[in-house]
Amino acid sequence: MCLGIPGQVVETVDAENYLAKVDVSGVRRTISVRLLADTGLKDGDWVLVHVGFAMAKIDEDEAAMTLSQLQKMGTEYTDELAQFRSTSL
Amino acid sequence: MKFVDEFRDPAAARALVRKITDLATEDEYKFMEVCGGHTHTIYRHGLEHVLPDNIELVHGPGCPVCVIPMGRIDDAIWLAEQDGVIFTTFGDMMRVPGSSGSLLDAKARGADCRFVYSPLDALKIALENPDKHVVFFAVGFETTAPSTAVTLVRAKQLGVTNFTVFANHVTIVPPIKAILESPDLRLSGFLGPGHVSTVVGTRPYRFVNDVYGKPLVVAGFEPLDILQSVHMLLKQLAEGRCEIENQYSRVVRPDGNPQALALLAETMELRPHFEWRGLGFISQSALKVHRNYADWDAEERFSMPGIRVADPKACQCGEVLKGVIKPWECKVFGTACTPETPIGTCMVSPEGACAAYYNFGRLHRDTAVMVGQRTAL
């Protein structure tokens, strides 16, 4: 449950309620960016996503590295991605 | 992606292992990795077999699913079985055994238990089911607690009256202290947790070197991150230094995430004490819903039994969590206790030491390919 998966912010959905759409390996979902409220987050930025929240801003290289590591984990990553996909806010 | 290649470079790994071997001149080093994510990486890549024999990696209590005591699971099942309750939690928690089965068993008996990806999903279920009461069973270290915090703020903002949180969030510093106080174990240093530190930063660990004279290096999750962190620990010991260092500085800031910390302070408060599986009661080691948010606190709303339940006799999760024994040294490991039919919590979560070893410990192909045989170095 402690997986942090990298996603790229593609769209601000609701600025007032800190909701943004992120893309994780081609799967898109709305998540909360409340925890990065003071970081000047913008579309195109990469973030570490944990239980539907952006936890930290990361650079693109870090994102690519973590993603390839996670993809090697196999079922846990696909399970996490399935959960990420299965629900919406 | 040049950077990726750098972190996977077999030559770099080989060079690191050589440097580690040169620096490790003492008879024995024991480094505890506090975080379950690290345990997973270590077994996944067979790192313990790449390191010289005098370096032992000891698994710590950093899997939040693993440290929840049986009594809390029984309380969760009791809540799930109340009339009109929709009980929600993360997938891993559904399979953790209480004294009479798991939440999945309760679901089979007819309780409305649902797993959710995010606490905000649980709040959404509450908004969609105004005639039901939705409880979110919250677990996790400081990595996960801020998400519960935001959800509480949102519930208050929206004036939702049919949603409460059964908070079981734990904090990382007290168990590290408990382990340092324990006479069972003589550690040489710590690999500090990566994701917890994105929230709390590196400052809370200062007591590890100030008070207990042990080095700690906050580590990332790539195999080379772990090797580099072990090297940093050895270098400190060789040079007679004892500091808190940050190997994972590309993600972790010294101050952590101030927004997350402020939200935690607003919505949660420290419990006087909390029971940890294997470690017993530790004072000020867990968070409850803040009194200003009492309307959204399941412990205020319901009179839960709150009975303390001893762990099953056969199960040695406690010793595994303290790093006193290795997973395979437990009497029921891989026989009565497997990921399909877990007896103890360490076999449930993929970050649990037992599940990680069961799934990967015997397969070291990745590392063998990556760094070659140790004898060839």
Q: Would you list the DSSP string of A23-84?
A: EETTEEEEEE-GGGTTTT--TT-EEEEETTEEEEEE-HHHHHHHHHHHHHTTHHHHHHHHHH
Q: Is the pLDDT of residue A84 over 90?
A: no
Touching A: B residues 41-80, CB under 8 Å? 44, 63-65
| Model pLDDT, residue B297 | 98
Q: How far is the C-alpha of A11 from the C-alpha of A1, rounded, in Å?
A: 26
- Reference B101, options B327, B349, B342, B331; nearest CA is B342
Asked if B136 and B148 touch (Cβ cutoff 8 Å), the reply is yes
Closest-CA residue of A relative to B150 is: A34
| B249 reaches A (C-beta below 8 A) | no
pLDDT in 10s for each residue of chain B, 377 residues: 334 455 556 777 888 899 999 999 999 999 999 998 898 888 888 888 889 999 999 988 888 888 899 999 999 999 999 999 999 999 889 999 899 899 999 999 999 999 999 999 999 999 999 999 999 999 999 999 999 999 999 999 999 999 999 999 999 999 999 889 888 778 999 999 999 999 999 999 999 999 999 999 999 988 889 999 999 999 999 999 999 999 998 889 999 999 999 999 999 999 999 999 878 899 999 999 999 999 999 999 999 988 888 887 888 888 888 888 888 889 898 888 888 888 888 888 877 888 888 887 655 544 544 555 444 33
Question: For residue B281, what are the CA distances in angstroms to B110, B317, B321?
Answer: 33, 16, 14
| Top-confidence residue, B190 or A74 | B190
Report CA B166 to chain centroid distance, whole Å: 18
Q: How far is the C-alpha of B278 from the C-alpha of B241, rounded, in Å?
A: 32
Asked if B245 and B231 touch (Cβ cutoff 8 Å), the reply is no
| Top-confidence residue, A83 or B102 | B102
Rg (CA), chain A: 12
Residue contact B199–A55, C-beta within 8 A: yes
Number of H helices, E strands in chain A: 2, 5
| B318 reaches A (C-beta below 8 A) | no
**Size (chain A), residues:** 89
| Model pLDDT, residue B373 | 46
| A7 reaches B (C-beta below 8 A) | no
Q: How far is the C-alpha of B152 from the C-alpha of B129, rounded, in Å?
A: 18
| Model pLDDT, residue B376 | 38
For a pLDDT cut of 90, what percent of chain A falls above it? 51
Which residues 6+ apart lie within 8 Å of B303 measured at CB?
Answer: none
| Model pLDDT, residue B219 | 95
Which residues 6+ apart lie within 8 Å of B300 measured at CB?
Answer: B164, B289, B294
> What digits encode the pLDDT tens for the residues A16-52?
999 999 998 889 999 999 999 989 999 999 999 999 9
> What digits encode the pLDDT tens for the residues B298-352?
999 999 988 888 887 888 888 888 888 888 889 898 888 888 888 888 888 877 8
pTM of the prediction? 0.89
Chain A nearest C-alpha distance from B27 (Å): 33
| Model pLDDT, residue A72 | 67
Touching B: A residues 58-87, CB under 8 Å? 58-59, 61-62, 64-66, 68-69, 72-73, 76, 79, 83-84, 86-87
| Model pLDDT, residue B66 | 86
Q: Count of CB atoms within 10 A of residue B119's CB?
A: 30
Closest-CA residue of B relative to A81 is: B117
* Cβ contacts of B1 on chain A, cutoff 8 Å: 61, 64-65
Q: Count of CB atoms within 10 A of residue B254's CB?
A: 12
